């Protein structure tokens, strides 16, 4: 099976800042329902499982939420104040087109920007502090604005999906719709030819702020092993310094296996062996401390853990860049790992 651009686009075009992931989960539910029973919980996690109930249980997790903003205030002139959700760089916002997602539908807005002609020389090249920024939705006054938007409405970058060159994709929300794609694409591949492993694809919520979705699911399940799929900093663009970024990671060189605190040694070795046997190129990166992903919480579920990452340029920006081949390779690796796990697993297999 080749890369499914339509599936990935539908994930990336669905707005899902932390706490508002339902549109992304609805895409997954529609996609996966034909091959597996879909389950959810009150916080918003979604998961689906295929394979025998008596086999080793593999959970492959990726977070559905993206960075964004939320409406916090509307002034008497109808201009909208906002706060960030997750790690948004406030210097990226002035002059940017954003979308407020309301109960009545999307509302377009632009972040106000003082023209350079009117900006004192000493202030040029500097962004206003977040509390000084505002969204202009064209409202005449506060009453007119409140007729269209409400306090707490989520805000995202305007959706844009482009192929910069063959297989090189730019879009908001690739962190971590790329991981969600790989986890659930692998479920489809595995469902078409299942082995002895019970494979669960999990789409978590709240990763960009509190890891609460992963915390909740870690209390629910006790799988034999967990693979957490997220993005990692690519180092193959001008000005990047691989030595300061923890190692070299490049687009189109395959998914990244973390070796260290985020991965069980035997599960790491097994994934590496499967990749070699399947002819799937992988990159290796050291993991000397916290993964700063859902892996930090899902390890507490008790099973062996592995961190699998997808190279991404320009993280937490309006145009994150990934390689389609890396995403599909990760899906193939996960499906093959599930098959192989069912062949070799015995109780105590992952004991260190």
pLDDT digits (tens, 9 = 90+) for 29-65: 999 999 999 999 999 999 999 999 999 999 999 999 9
Domains and their CATH numbers in the chain: 5-66+172-344 (3.40.630.10), 68-157 (2.40.30.40)
Amino acid 261: pLDDT: 84
Each residue's pLDDT expressed in tens, for the chain with a length of 352 residues: 699 999 999 999 999 999 999 999 999 999 999 999 999 999 999 999 999 999 999 999 999 999 999 999 999 999 999 999 999 999 999 999 999 999 999 999 999 998 888 788 888 888 889 999 999 999 999 999 999 999 999 999 998 999 999 999 999 999 999 999 999 999 999 999 999 999 999 999 999 999 999 999 999 999 999 999 999 999 999 999 999 998 999 999 999 999 998 799 999 999 999 999 999 999 999 998 888 888 889 888 888 999 999 999 999 999 999 999 999 999 999 999 999 999 999 999 998 7
Amino acid 125: pLDDT: 84
HEC states along the chain? CCCCHHHHHHHHCCCCECCCCHHHHHHHHHHHCCCCEEEECCCCCEEEEECCCCCCEEEEEEECCECEEEEEEECCCCCEEEEEECCCCHHHCCCCEEEEEECCEEEEEEECCCCHHHCCHHHCCCCCCHHHCCEECCCCCHHHHHCCCCCCCEEEECCCCEEEECCEEEECCHHHHHHHHHHHHHHHHHHHCCCCCEEEEEEECCCCCCCHHHHHHHHHCCCCEEEEEEEEECCCCCCCCCCCCCCCCCCCCCCEEEEECCCCHHHHHHHHHHHHHHCCCCEEEEECCCCCCCHHHHHHHCCEEEEEEEEEECCCCCCEEEEHHHHHHHHHHHHHHHHHHHHHCCCCCCCC
Amino acid 345: pLDDT: 95
């Amino acid at each position: 099976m080749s890369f499914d651009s339509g599936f990935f686009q539908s994930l990336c075009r669905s707005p899902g800042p932390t706490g508002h992931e339902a549109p992304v989960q609805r895409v997954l539910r529609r996609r996966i329902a034909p091959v597996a029973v879909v389950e959810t919980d009150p916080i918003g996690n979604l998961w689906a499982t295929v394979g025998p109930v008596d086999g080793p249980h593999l959970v492959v997790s990726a977070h559905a939420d993206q960075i964004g903003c939320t409406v916090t205030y509307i002034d008497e002139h109808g201009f909208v104040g906002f706060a960030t959700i997750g790690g948004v760089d406030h210097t990226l916002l002035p002059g940017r087109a954003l979308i407020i997602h309301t109960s009545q539908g999307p509302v377009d807005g632009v972040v106000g920007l003082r023209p350079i002609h009117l900006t004192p020389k000493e202030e040029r090249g500097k962004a206003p502090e977040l509390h000084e920024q505002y969204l202009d939705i064209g409202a005449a006054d506060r009453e007119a604005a409140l007729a269209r938007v409400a306090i707490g409405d989520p805000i995202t970058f305007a959706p844009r999906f482009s192929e910069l060159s063959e297989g090189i994709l730019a879009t908001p929300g690739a962190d971590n719709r790329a991981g969600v794609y790989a986890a659930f694409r692998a479920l489809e591949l595995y469902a078409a030819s299942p082995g002895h492993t019970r494979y669960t694809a999990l789409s978590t919520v709240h990763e960009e702020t509190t890891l609460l979705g992963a915390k909740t699911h870690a209390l629910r399940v006790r799988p034999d092993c967990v693979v957490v799929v997220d993005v990692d900093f690519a180092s193959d663009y001008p000005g990047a310094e691989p030595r300061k970024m923890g190692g070299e990671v490049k687009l189109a060189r395959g998914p990244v296996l973390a070796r260290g605190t985020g991965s069980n040694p035997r599960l790491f070795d097994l994934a590496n062996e499967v990749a070699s046997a399947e002819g799937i190129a992988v990159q290796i990166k050291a993991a000397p401390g916290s993964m700063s992903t859902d892996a930090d919480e899902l390890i507490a579920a008790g099973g062996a853990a592995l961190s699998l990452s997808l190279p991404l340029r320009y993280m937490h920006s309006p145009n994150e860049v990934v390689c389609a081949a890396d995403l599909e390779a990760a899906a193939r690796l996960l499906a093959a790992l599930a098959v192989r796990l069912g062949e070799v697993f015995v109780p105590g297999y992952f004991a260190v």
